[in-house]
Structure 1
Amino acid sequence: MTFEDFLDMMSVFSDNAPKSVKVEYAFRIYDFDNDDTLSNSDLTEVINRLTGGNDDERLKLPKEDMEMLINNIYQEADLDDDDMLSFAEFEHVISKAPDFVTSFRIRL
């Protein structure tokens, strides 16, 4: 990663970055397998990282809870019922979260 790449990455977390740029960057962060969709494996990885499940098995959600959470995400966001989230579906869900722009930032 070059210094310019680093600056581009960090500029996304600025208060002045447009919402569209923040949404695109968030989608790319959550798309662990880089297939331009958020699948079960991507959502599982996100949830594990948010709950500390990767590093400490004691904190990992039980399988039933993980499945229920992913199913709830799909019920809310998967508009075409293909069990994955496209960028458009992700963007639609983010549009319902008015605090996304202010929370997706780094303050120094």
Structure 2
Amino acid sequence: MGCVTSRLRTFPGRDDPFILSSETTFSVSEVEALFELFKSISRSVIDDELISKEEFQLAIFNNRAKENLFSSRIFDLFDVKGRGAIDFGDFVRALDVFHPYTSQEVKIDFSFRLYDLDNSGFIERHEVKEMINAILCESEIKLSDDMVETIIEKTFLDADPNQDGKIDKFEWEKFVSKNMSLLKIMTLPYLTDITTSFPSFVFNTKLDDDIVL
């Protein structure tokens, strides 16, 4: 019986694809395909085998011209080591959150951290407003200030039952479980069909009519 080999094993210091596969939804072959994508992104500005924020915005959001709170926040959550750059292991583990087969619990947890901008353990009104405006800007959608305030007001009426002006993780979980369309942004369908020619992709940040946030 033949042995299974991996091209990534020949790179010292790099995360083992078999370990990454065991920790994520991806198969070993998909991890190796993601490595081809990672190499392409990490070389787009500086060839240093790391993805900078500029390279991330260019590849993931197709936007290099301006920094946006939404894309910046996604990058910060991908950058689990907090060093201002994403290595290959970070990249695969973070993308796993957006896999269609990843559990709703994981996606809900990630989305809570996405909106909790100051890492206080709560989502507050100003954070929701900042994130909505950032998503609207990224999507090139224009809404009046009154409309944005209406969205925020409806969100807190539904998600903050004790009306203390902040949403804790338990309240967020209940809110999202009743508004599953909120998790649409947490899923990238492309991740179910990865090949070595897997292209760069763009997050769909468009707000649907039935999405509260």
| TM-score bucket (shorter structure) | 0.7 to 0.9
Matched, 1:82 2:164: yes
Q: Residue 32 of structure 1 corresponds to which residue in structure 2?
A: 117
Q: Residue 61 of structure 1 corresponds to which residue in structure 2?
A: 144
Change (3 A) 1:46 1:11: same
The CA deviation string for residues 37-57 of structure 1, in whole angstroms up to 9 with x for no partner, is 1111210111101221x8x8x
Q: Residue 173 of structure 2 corresponds to which residue in structure 1?
A: 91
Structure 1 unpaired stretches of 5+: none
The CA deviation string for residues 3-25 of structure 1, in whole angstroms up to 9 with x for no partner, is 22221110011111111001001
The DSSP-based 3-state class of the residue aligned with 1:9 is helix
Q: Residue 8 of structure 1 corresponds to which residue in structure 2?
A: 93
The CA deviation string for residues 60-102 of structure 1, in whole angstroms up to 9 with x for no partner, is 632x43333212111111022111111111110111134455x
Shift of 1:33: 1.2
Return the structure number with greater helix share.
Answer: 1
Confirm or deny: 8 A CA contact 1:48 1:61 kept in the other structure: no
Counterpart pick for 1:107 among 189, 192, 201: 189
Q: Residue 102 of structure 2 corresponds to which residue in structure 1?
A: 17
TM-score in terms of structure 2 length: 0.43
Q: Identity across aligned pairs (percent)?
A: 25
Confirm or deny: 8 A CA contact 1:30 1:38 kept in the other structure: yes
Query: 1:25 is matched by which residue type in structure 2?
Result: F
Counterpart pick for 2:152 among 70, 73, 97: 70
Change (3 A) 1:99 1:44: closer
The DSSP-based 3-state class of the residue aligned with 2:162 is coil
Which stretches of structure 1, 4 residues or longer, exceed 3 Å deviation after superposition? 98-101
Q: Residue 45 of structure 1 corresponds to which residue in structure 2?
A: 130
Q: How many residues get paired?
A: 103
Shift of 1:26: 0.8
